[in-house]
Amino acid sequence: MLELRNTLERLLSFKPDGFLVSSLYLKLDVESRTDRKYLRTFKDLVKTQREYLEKRGLRKDVYSSVEEDFKRFEEFLSEPDNLKGGRGIALFSSSAGGLFEVVKLPYVYKNRLMVATDPLVREIVAIDEELGRVGVLLIDRKHVRFFLMNLVGLEEVVDFLEPLATRAHKFHAGGSMLKGAQGLMKFSMPARIGGPNVVQHAFGEYRFHMRIQEEKHRLFKIANDALMEAWKEHKFDKLVIGSEREDIREIENHLHTYLLERLVGYIKASPSYVNESELREKVIDLLIQKDREDEERLIKELAELEGKGLAVNGTSKVLEQLYMGNVRVLLVPESFTKPGYVCEKSHLPMLKPECPSEEKAYEVPDVVDEIMEFAFEERARVEVVARPELQKKIDGLACFMRFSI
């Protein structure tokens, strides 16, 4: 995390001295990596951006610096080894100013290429806040591990074996070969027939299942205690539980209320065999899946809040609320793009070249990128809607408001 903080500090303190900074956010998920689709996406963004840069009347040296930025981006993206360790990436460059920074991300909201007077880093901060700190508990019959995950990686905090989680041979009881294998469930059962220590299989089976139940609940309780200690120390925001046990959801009966409130869901993972990079991927998969499931609730909430005067549906209406600082959640259909303008000094996104003061407006290929950036600046939450049937219910952009007007 320290490395990310240092990178952001370098970007925020950078002064371009009359030149421009190119900021690129690019998806690197499985679909984007297929046949290196991300490269085609990047080249399309560059082609469109060039058309609009020519209209801005930039000085020759400024334009050359931006062109060199695009070249640097392409060279970096063309090397597959540079793209390991993230499902999204943010690149920042100002060739004339000697700036080139890379931030690998678990995801990005939208493919965006912007050329501005400063590095546009607010999406990184928004993703960091949205992801937060994720606690990941892995548990099997006797092995418990606990990790903390954030924007930059995964760190193991707890790893232990429960020594009492031992099991007798299935459906057998008694006999010297089982000494010490009974855990805490040590019964002395008289034989009905035969010699000493001979027990009918019905009793052995019952005893076996009781031992399994006792062992499970003891382990789940110990896992809860370990989680509570970890939460007190690290205050994680979300909890993900990984196991290959079919009865793993019974652990909820043992979890403290604070932990249940943070439980996002379950993944298939064994504490004994999981690879940390694979574990991180599974956790991100789950979080993205939960986010997609939440889209339907957001659209339903949009309709309800519109009726109460606490939401608007339509790009121009959203912009009006943004200018007033009245956007709490911005809803962006993933496929929606729209040309527009940006005021040169105030950086306000506009649908028409009509800045509120006498400043010049320049044209941009997709004003949605600029609106998202403005929403980040206003501390609004951005939700990108991916499901096509739900995108149709949004008229351009929509938002939930902080107060009704």
**What residue ranges do the domains of the chain occupy?**
1-131, 132-274, 295-405
Alpha helices in 54-178 (DSSP H): 60-77, 122-131
Q: Name which of 297, 285, 365 is nearest 107 in CA terms.
A: 285
User: What is the band of 188 on the pLDDT scale with cuts at 50, 70, 90?
Assistant: very low
- Say if residues 343 and 330 touch (Cβ distance below 8 Å): no
Query: Over 60: is that where the pLDDT of 5 sits?
Result: yes
- Residue 67 φ/ψ region, left for φ over 0, alpha for ψ in the -120 to 50 degree band, beta for the rest: alpha
> Burial code of 189-212, b = ≥16 C-beta within 10 A, e = fewer?
eeeeeeeeeebeeebbeebbeebb
Q: Name which of 140, 148, 134, 156 is nearest 242 in CA terms.
A: 140
How high is the pLDDT of residue 163? 56
Written out in words, the top-level CATH class of the domain with range 295-405 is alpha beta
User: What is the band of 204 on the pLDDT scale with cuts at 50, 70, 90?
Assistant: low
Query: How many residues are there in the chain?
Result: 405
User: What is the band of 369 on the pLDDT scale with cuts at 50, 70, 90?
Assistant: very high
Average model confidence (pLDDT) for the chain? 87
Q: Which uninterrupted H or E stretch holds 254?
A: none
User: What is the band of 169 on the pLDDT scale with cuts at 50, 70, 90?
Assistant: very low
In which residue are the tokens 């006498």 written?
358
The two beta strands, 327-333 and 381-385, are: parallel
Query: Over 90: is that where the pLDDT of 48 sits?
Result: yes
The domain covering 1-131 belongs, at the CATH homologous superfamily level, to eRF1 domain 1 (3.30.960.10)
Cα distance between residue 26 and residue 104, in whole Å: 10
Rounded to two decimals, the pTM is 0.83
How high is the pLDDT of residue 205? 58
Structure tokens at 217: 């609940």
Q: Can you tell me the mean pLDDT for 211-229?
A: 82
Structure tokens at 15: 């002064």
Q: In what order do the strands lie in the sheet containing 327-333?
A: 311-313, 398-401, 327-333, 381-385
Pick the CATH number of 132-274 from 1.20.1050.10, 3.40.50.2300, 3.40.50.1820, 3.30.420.60: 3.30.420.60
How high is the pLDDT of residue 217? 82
User: What is the band of 177 on the pLDDT scale with cuts at 50, 70, 90?
Assistant: very low
Write the pLDDT tens digit of every residue in 233-275. 989 999 999 999 998 999 999 999 999 999 999 999 999 888 8
